[in-house]
Each structure stands twice: as structure tokens, then as C-alpha cells.
Amino acid sequence: MKVKKELWFGFSLMAIILATVVIFMPWSNFVDGHLSRADLGYLGLLMLALIVVAIMLGFPTAFTLMGMGVFFGWLSYRSVNPDLAVQQILDLMVQRAYSVMSNDVLIAIPLFVFMGYLVERANLIEKLFKSLHLSLARVPGALAVATIVTCAIFATATGIVGAVVTLMGLLALPAMLRAGYNIKLAAGAITAGGCLGILIPPSVLLIVYGATAGVSVVKLYAGAFFPGIMLAGLYVGYVIIVAKWKPHLAPPLAASERIVPLPPLSQTLSSRSPNALAGLFGGLSVPSLPKRQVATQLFVSLLPAISIIALLLLMYAGATAPIAAVDTTGLVQSGGSLAADSDKPAEASGLQEPPKEEGGLQEPPKEGADLKEPPVEPGQSASAATVSPPAAAASVQAVTAPAVPAPAERVPAPTWYWIVFGLGMAGLLLVNWLMSWQRLEIFKMLLASFFPLAVMIIAVLGSIVFGLATPTEAAAVGAFGGLLLAGAYRYIAAKQAKSGNAVVKTMVDLGGIIKESSFLTAKTSAMVCWLFVGSSIFSAAFALLGGQEIIERWVLSLGLTTLQFMLLSQFIIFILGWPLEWTEIIVIFMPIFIPLLPKFGVDPLFFGLLVALNLQTAFLSPPVAMAAFYLKGVSPKHVTLNQIFAGMMPFMGIQVLALLLLYIWPQIGMWLPNLLYK
């Protein structure tokens, strides 16, 4: 029986842990009652072993930690002064609990969680997936690629693995199966994509790590951005290669699947010209057509052009503005010294690498800088999707719009600006030339699903990373944005349903959404934060007992090199990911690893990125991979769990590869934080 095997394995693991502890414990000293410093340390290790066993037994971890922390802390105090021990441990405990209650890092957790629930309930994933898979239709393995991209965006905004995997299992899995995709590939794409939200900021994992390790969350976000993109890129790359190499696993979409139905107006106009722009211009002068509709369509199709021009104008303003006159008052207040410093390095590298660095020089709204970087990539990589460059531009435009033109004394525009200008103009022409009626429809769909979410994420992340807002503030504004987004989408849905008053229906809907989301937020934050209460008491007791010293001495006595230490620690975390959840691993074990880092000259920030990437694999490693079970819950009954696991394996391999890449080239993660905060 399978169940029995699992139990036996678990119990034997527990038995091994306990046996090791029992054998190595210096019992004779305990019996004597003379507890030396070293004995207490061993007691600390005993506590650590016991906690692993207790967690494996399945009792709520927060309270296991709390209870054990109190007991062992009391033992430790008692060995010094038995009379004061009770009072001391109570004081310690309440101080620790209060420090979690008033923690200004953890406060961002409920807000991000709230934002996630709201976005999830905005009900835009269906549109998002559809528009993405239509716009990516020509890419090999289009559906799987669209799945991963949808997951990446949606998971980033919500951060709820279970919901994302379930939703994609409902939407993407049927689509892929119908298109003849291999089950394993489809399952792998969904589960792997759904877990991306763990890594890509704004993720709760990074906040928890930041709070535990005392690393700035802002830096972690800046650092995790590119590794996250890289991982998503590797997934996409893998799918494309598989689709090219073995087309029977991921057959291209049938032509009938790609066609987007045109609205009647476009149909009439399309007979006049194959190009949407030309057709619409022509349509303006045709009296028989409704002028307002044509004008609206024209405006929409001109959006990419408008945003490119607006962007170029803004950049001109930024590039020619006297550097000294840059108005950083707002930035200095919030971002401290970094705002002033960030100009210089950005400018220097901007000269060498024109298209990427425009942001560094750009004027007042510093958001502009971050906005430009992400869009550059989709624009270049997704050449098949011609809508991407304008798309990227549009998202930039939306946020940079309120920029004020620079004051007097302009400097002549540097050469790189003209290169960018040329590229921009070429892009503009290309986009308008390629804008067929079909593409216009796809663009409109993207406009309604992809861009609002992308703009929101980029605005939240950008304002954090560029020091405009603290993570807390950005999270709150993001949650507010999620509220608006949910309201807007519900309003559109209510309008389309045409049942009663749309405004009233939206308000009722929205009320329900807010209620559900806040209840869920309360439960999720209580779960995470009570775990913190427990673990802070626990780690205080561990430190009191001196268990840390023993571990430190032991690790140092091994004489590991930095590489060996890193391999060992990542391996341990990887193994721990099997029985434990990421929250438990971080709050219990990071306090043990972090003090060792300086001894090996490892940056805790870099370590955090590796840990975040590593813990991703925990979600995909059988037999406790949550993602697989969520997918199994909504897939047809002949899809077996083993098929899903088999599908996840290559993606797990990619994660390990990504971990290696990040280790070999730390710049992938460290480049952005170093650029911004050094």
C-alpha cells in the first residue's frame, strides 16, 4: 500500500532524527544537573530536532514554536537563576510578540495579500489568457507559452499559487488538450508557471525573508526582478524548443483557432484597405459610417504611435534638461541618498548602451526609468507578436504622462538620444504598417486585459525599487489599484450582461469581493504573522541556549570553502522543502544560516535570492508539490498525478539550472540593486 509506505518513510525519518539526538546528547551532564554552556547548546540542538519532528507530526507550526520556545527558554534562564526564570521568559516572550506586532516590514504582507485576492477576483484571467494566446499564436507552442506568460503576470499580481494553478487548470489545460498538446507538457507549463509568483516581486516570500534576515525588502525586490524574468524566460525558451523539436508534443494552432472575429464596423472598413490605420482614416470621410465610432477606433489604433511619440518627447525633455536642475526634492525625502546617486551611474552606462538606459537620465518621475526597462525586452524577444513594442510603449506612457517639461537652459541632445529616436520612429512606422484589422482586435483585447495589470505591477514595483514609496505604501496603493481594477472589470461584465442597473450591480459585487478578500486576508496574514510570533520566541530561545554557537563552530570546523558552503546550504534548504512549507523554512532555519554568511563572505541579499529561487523548486518537487494537487483537482479524471509530476520534472530541472546560472553570474540578481543603491 502506498499510504503505508509514506508513513513508514516519515516515521523512519523522525526516528533517525531522534536517535541521532539521543545518541549524541551528553546525557550524563543533564543527570548531574550541572548544565554548562556547551550542554545548553546541545539542548538547543535537541530543541531544533524536536521542532522538525513536531512539525512533521502536523501540529500548527506557530504554536509548536511558541510552546517549545517558552519551555526551552525557561530551561535556559533556569540554569542561570531559577528564581527569576519565569519572569524573564515571560518578559522575553511578550517583547518578542510585540516586536512582531509593531514590525514595519511585515505590515506590507496583509496589504500585498489583499491586493492579490482583489486582483484574483477581478476576473480578468480569462481575457488575459485569450488575448495573450492570440497575440502569441505564431510562436511555436503558442498555448504553452501563453500559459506561462499569463501565469507569470497573474501570479505576480496575486501571489496565490493555489488559485493561479486552479484557474489555469480550468482555462489553459482544456485549451491545450483540445489542441493536441502532450499532457505532461501542458501540466508542467501550468504548474511551473503558477509558482512563478513566489519569486517575482512583489512576493510575500521576499518580505518574509527580508524581515527574518534583516535585509532590505526594497533591495530584495530589485534583486529578484531579473532572476524572476530569467526563470520565466527559460521556461518559455524550453517550451519553444520542445515545440520546434517535437511538434507532435505541442502542435501549432489551427488556422481557425487564430482568427479573431471582427466587429461589423471593422468588417465594412476592411474592404477598403488591409491596413487598419489607413482604413480608419479613409472611414472618417465616409458619411454613411458612424463618425464617433470610427474616431474612437482610430484613436485606439493610434495609441502605440501616440505613446511612442510621447515617450520620445519625454526623453528629449529629460536628455536635454540641465542635469543640475533635476527636481529630486520628492525623491530625496523618500528615497534618501539613492535618488541623488542613481543619476550618475545610469548616465554613464547610458552612453554605451543606448536603448536600455534612457531611464537613467529621465527627468522628474523616476518611475519612467523602471518602466522602460521591462518593456524593452518583450519588444525585442517577441518579434512574432508585433503588437508588443507599442504595447510596451503604451504602458510606459500611461504612467509617465504627468511629467512636467524640464525648465530652461537645455543642453543639446546627445547622440544616443538620436539613435533611440531613430529606433522609436522606425518602430512606430513598423507598427502602423503592420497594424492589420486582426491585429487591431488583438491589440484592443490586450489593452483591456494585459496592460492594466502590467501597468499596475510595474507602478507598484517601480515606485518601490526607485525609492518613491516604501513597500508598505506601494502595497497599499497597489491594493487600492486592485480594488479599482476589480470594480472596473465587474462594471464591464455587468454592463455586458445588461441585467438591471450596472452601477448598482457593480457595487453589490464589489462589496462581496471586498468582504471575501478581507476575510481571506485576515486569515492569511494571521497565519504568516502568528508564525512569526512563534518563531521569534523560538529563535530567541535558541540563541539563549547557544545552539547557534555550536552550529557555527561545527560548520567552521568543517573547513568548507565558500562554494562548498553554498552548495551545502542550498542542498539543505532544498531537502527541507520536502517536508516543510517555505514559511517554516524561512522563519525557522534562516536565523541559523544568516549568521554564518559573513564567515564565508556571502551577501545575505544574494543568499536570499538563491533561497527564493531554491524554494520555488519545493513547490514542484513530488510528493508534496502543492501545485500538482491543485491541478489534479480540476483536471479530467484520466490525467494521473504521476503524469503531472513527470511534466513538472523538466521545469524543476530548469529551476536548478536557473539556480546555477544565478550562482555563476550573481550579476543577474545583483546588478540592479548595485546600480540603484550603491
Partner 1 sequence: MQKLLLTIDKISTFVGQAFSWLIVSLTLMISWEVFSRYVLDHPHSWAFDVMIMMYGTLFMMAGAYTLSKAGHVRGDVLYGFFEPRTQAIIDLILYVLFFMPGVFALTYAGYYYAAESWAINEHSTITAEGPPIYPFKTMLPLAGAFLLVQGIVEIIRCAICIKQGSWPTRIEDVEEVDVDKLKEMVHVKDDDIAKLDQFVVQQGSTK
The whole-angstrom separation of Cα 263 and Cα 638 is 39
Provide, rounded to whole angstroms, the least separation between the CB of residue 584 and partner 1: 7
CA distances (Å), origin 4, targets 248, 449, 514, 577 = 39, 47, 44, 22
Q: Does residue 330 belong to the site contacting partner 1 (CB under 8 A)?
A: yes
CA distances (Å), origin 146, targets 151, 204, 231, 232 = 8, 25, 15, 11
Provide, rounded to whole angstroms, the least separation between the CB of residue 367 and partner 1: 12
Choose the stretch contacting partner 1; rule: CB under 8 A; options: 25-33, 434-442, 466-474, 551-559: 466-474
> What part of residues 482-511 is at the interface with partner 1 (CB under 8 A)?
483
Q: Does residue 246 belong to the site contacting partner 1 (CB under 8 A)?
A: no
Angle, to 10 degrees, between the axis of helix 641-664 and the axis of helix 183-194? Answer: 50
Within 8 A by CB and 6+ apart from 575, the residues are none
Q: Does residue 102 belong to the site contacting partner 1 (CB under 8 A)?
A: yes
Provide, rounded to whole angstroms, the least separation between the CB of residue 4 and partner 1: 9
Among 596, 587, 606, CA closest to 674: 606
Bridge partners of 275, per DSSP, are 436
Q: Does residue 523 belong to the site contacting partner 1 (CB under 8 A)?
A: yes
Among 137, 147, 239, CA closest to 193: 147
- For 425, the grid coordinates are 520612429
Cβ pair 338, 428 in contact under 8 A = no
Residue of 30, 480, 491, 574 interacting with partner 1 (CB under 8 A): 480
Provide, rounded to whole angstroms, the least separation between the CB of residue 295 and partner 1: 33
Q: Between 245 and 519, whose beta carbon lies closer to partner 1?
A: 519
Q: Between 110 and 424, whose beta carbon lies closer to partner 1?
A: 110
What number of CA atoms fall less than 13 Å from residue 95's CA on the CB side? Answer: 8
**DSSP 8-state symbol, 596:** G
Q: Does residue 149 belong to the site contacting partner 1 (CB under 8 A)?
A: no
Q: Does residue 242 belong to the site contacting partner 1 (CB under 8 A)?
A: no
Residue of 180, 214, 237, 290 interacting with partner 1 (CB under 8 A): 180
Q: Does residue 237 belong to the site contacting partner 1 (CB under 8 A)?
A: no
> What part of residues 396-425 is at the interface with partner 1 (CB under 8 A)?
none
Cα angle for residues 354, 356, 359 (degrees, 5° grid): 100
Cβ pair 616, 199 in contact under 8 A = yes
Residue with cell 560548520: 555
Residue of 10, 251, 282, 595 interacting with partner 1 (CB under 8 A): 10
> What part of residues 32-91 is at the interface with partner 1 (CB under 8 A)?
54-64, 66-71, 89-91
The whole-angstrom separation of Cα 509 and Cα 503 is 10
Q: Between 61 and 275, whose beta carbon lies closer to partner 1?
A: 61
Provide, rounded to whole angstroms, the least separation between the CB of residue 161 and partner 1: 9
Q: Between 93 and 398, whose beta carbon lies closer to partner 1?
A: 93
Residue of 199, 382, 455, 469 interacting with partner 1 (CB under 8 A): 469
Q: Between 139 and 639, whose beta carbon lies closer to partner 1?
A: 639
Provide, rounded to whole angstroms, the least separation between the CB of residue 647 and partner 1: 12
Provide, rounded to whole angstroms, the least separation between the CB of residue 409 and partner 1: 26
Cβ pair 25, 46 in contact under 8 A = yes
Within 8 A by CB and 6+ apart from 21, the residues are 45, 46, 49, 50
> What part of residues 181-200 is at the interface with partner 1 (CB under 8 A)?
182-183
The whole-angstrom separation of Cα 343 and Cα 326 is 10
Residue of 42, 77, 437, 530 interacting with partner 1 (CB under 8 A): 530
Q: Between 128 and 149, whose beta carbon lies closer to partner 1?
A: 128
Site string for partner 1, 595-624 (x = CB under 8 A): -----------------------------x
Q: Does residue 364 belong to the site contacting partner 1 (CB under 8 A)?
A: no
Residue of 524, 536, 614, 621 interacting with partner 1 (CB under 8 A): 524
Q: Between 127 and 356, whose beta carbon lies closer to partner 1?
A: 127
Provide, rounded to whole angstroms, the least separation between the CB of residue 634 and partner 1: 6
Q: Does residue 527 belong to the site contacting partner 1 (CB under 8 A)?
A: yes
Site string for partner 1, 552-581 (x = CB under 8 A): --------------------------xxxx
Q: Between 63 and 671, whose beta carbon lies closer to partner 1?
A: 63
Q: Residue 202, preceding bond cis, omega within 30 degrees?
A: yes
Residue of 80, 325, 526, 556 interacting with partner 1 (CB under 8 A): 526
Q: Does residue 535 belong to the site contacting partner 1 (CB under 8 A)?
A: no
Q: Between 101 and 426, whose beta carbon lies closer to partner 1?
A: 101
The whole-angstrom separation of Cα 177 and Cα 636 is 10
Among 321, 307, 346, CA closest to 424: 307
Q: Between 50 and 240, whose beta carbon lies closer to partner 1?
A: 50
The whole-angstrom separation of Cα 75 and Cα 89 is 9
Rounded-to-10 torsion of CA 26, 31, 32, 38: 30
Residue of 82, 162, 247, 322 interacting with partner 1 (CB under 8 A): 162
Cβ pair 230, 612 in contact under 8 A = no
Choose the stretch contacting partner 1; rule: CB under 8 A; options: 4-12, 31-39, 212-220, 646-654: 4-12
Q: Between 338 and 376, whose beta carbon lies closer to partner 1?
A: 338
Residue of 584, 593, 648, 654 interacting with partner 1 (CB under 8 A): 584
The whole-angstrom separation of Cα 147 and Cα 128 is 10
List alpha helices for 246-328, DSSP H: 255-258, 264-270, 276-284, 291-320
Cβ pair 626, 166 in contact under 8 A = no
